[in-house]
């Protein structure tokens, strides 16, 4: 079960003017499940994305990069679950292209105006015939208020659908932001995320949106880790339709700060939902690192703690074996770190200072915090003013079971 997270009700996921979503059962891998999502965008939408840095990036990721770079104006997204179309070589690229061709023909747009996304099992061929056969049903289902259905249709090992919405008043006009994400395993920060899609009816100039999607990823999806594995298919896309009447052409324009903050807040909520639904997770952990010389070294420490199987299994067991946290800080890659200046807390309980155990620390206090469903590990490096956060979860027996049975 996810840690303190529930999918918002359908009526709490607000339509975004200019964006319609449709889902269908295409039997990509399994019968009787929604596994195909089509997103149709009105003319005039701006679209930006960031993608995995895994060198074995999937065929659809390659096409997404090419189609965004072509600058023809993206008019549709197509997402399938079940098969990742990764590690499939030239046949995989042909399958992704055939998918775009079919969507283009169905909607009367260019194939290079389509962004394809796949998620699921790697090394298996994408059944393009079944995908294409499911597209008419997805088109017939297109609707602006289908965010709830789409959140369910992009799931793989997720136990719960992940979605978020915000309404904001900007320059006296209502602006809506809605988004969905999927992911529960093979989660490690590396440029983007598993699959994440955020749309707004504000108008945002292309250069600003290109900048915003990177900033939002760095503040959200690039701050999460479940198991330290970087997916071949990670993609995070932002869409701005411009139909609210609010248009931002430059970062000095009135309302930009509010829109930017709201877009990032939705991305953070979606990213945290992935960790809360981490495969087998029973605890949600925030690693807050401060006192660094720069944000990068703070992130190094956060990732070292968040990736550590020894730390994560200790959290699962509610075992305050806190030397594992100190060890992770020590191997994080800060060559000139003075460990005598490092302080560590579990929530408000100081556990380490002056190079060792805090004088006032009692193991009963550590055990009390470790038993909570939500825990903050705070680290002060004592060498500057920079800070960063990483979100992670524990490792349970179920993580092994889920991944041992992934293809069955």
Active site residues: 193
Residue ranges of E strands in 84-204? 114-121, 162-170, 173-182, 195-200, 203-204
With 0-12 / 13-18 / 19 or more C-beta atoms within 10 angstroms meaning exposed / middle / buried, residue 336 is: exposed
Q: What are φ and ψ of residue 98, in 5° steps? A: -60, -35
Distance from C-alpha of 10 to C-alpha of 89, rounded to nearest angstrom = 39
Whether 332 and 316 have beta carbons less than 8 Å apart is answered as no
CA distances from 39 to 48, 76, 321 (A): 15, 5, 47
Give 136's contacts (C-beta < 8 A, 6+ positions apart): 106
CA angle 374, 377, 382 (to 5 degrees): 160
Report yes or no: 118 and 126 within 8 Å, Cβ to Cβ: yes
* 157/227 Cα distance (integer angstroms): 14
Please count the other Cβ atoms lying within 10 Å of the Cβ belonging to residue 155: 22
Euclidean distance between CA atoms 113 and 404, whole angstroms: 38
């Amino acid at each position: 079960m996810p840690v303190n997270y529930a999918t918002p009700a359908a009526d709490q996921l607000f339509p975004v003017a200019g964006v319609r979503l449709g889902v269908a059962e295409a039997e990509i891998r399994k019968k009787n499940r929604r596994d195909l999502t089509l997103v149709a965008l009105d003319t005039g939408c701006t679209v930006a994305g960031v993608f995995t840095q895994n060198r074995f990036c999937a065929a659809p990721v390659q096409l997404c990069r090419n189609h965004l770079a072509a600058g023809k104006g993206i008019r549709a997204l197509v997402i399938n679950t079940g098969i990742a179309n990764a590690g499939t070589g030239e046949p995989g690229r042909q399958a992704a292209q055939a998918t775009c061709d079919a969507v283009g023909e169905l909607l009367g747009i260019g194939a290079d105006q389509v962004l394809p996304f796949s998620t699921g099992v790697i090394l298996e061929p994408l059944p393009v015939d079944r995908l294409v056969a499911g597209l008419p049903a997805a088109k017939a289902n297109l609707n602006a208020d289908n965010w709830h259905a789409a959140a369910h249709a992009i799931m793989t090992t997720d136990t719960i659908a992940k979605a978020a919405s915000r309404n904001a008043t900007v320059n006296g006009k209502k602006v809506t932001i809605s988004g969905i994400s999927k992911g529960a395993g093979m989660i490690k920060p590396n440029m983007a995320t598993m699959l994440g899609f955020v749309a707004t009816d504000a108008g945002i100039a292309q250069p600003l949106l290109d900048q915003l999607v990177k900033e939002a990823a760095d503040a959200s999806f690039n701050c999460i880790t479940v198991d330290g594995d970087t997916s071949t298919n990670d993609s995070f896309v932002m869409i701005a339709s411009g139909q609210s009447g609010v248009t931002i052409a430059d970062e000095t324009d009135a309302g930009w700060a509010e829109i930017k903050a709201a877009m990032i807040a939705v991305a953070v909520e979606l990213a945290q939902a992935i960790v809360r639904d981490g495969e087998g997770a029973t605890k949600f952990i925030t690693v807050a690192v401060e006192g660094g010389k720069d944000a990068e070294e703070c992130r190094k420490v956060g990732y070292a703690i968040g990736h550590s199987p020894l730390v994560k299994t200790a959290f699962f067991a509610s075992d305050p074996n806190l030397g594992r946290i100190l060890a992770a800080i020590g191997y994080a890659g800060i060559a000139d770190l003075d460990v005598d200046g490092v302080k560590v807390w579990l929530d408000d309980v100081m556990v380490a200072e002056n190079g060792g155990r805090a004088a006032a620390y009692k193991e009963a206090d550590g055990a009390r915090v470790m038993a909570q469903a939500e825990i903050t590990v705070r680290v002060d490096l004592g060498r500057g003013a920079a800070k960063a956060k990483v979100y992670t979860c524990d490792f349970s027996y179920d993580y092994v079971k889920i991944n041992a049975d992934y293809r069955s």
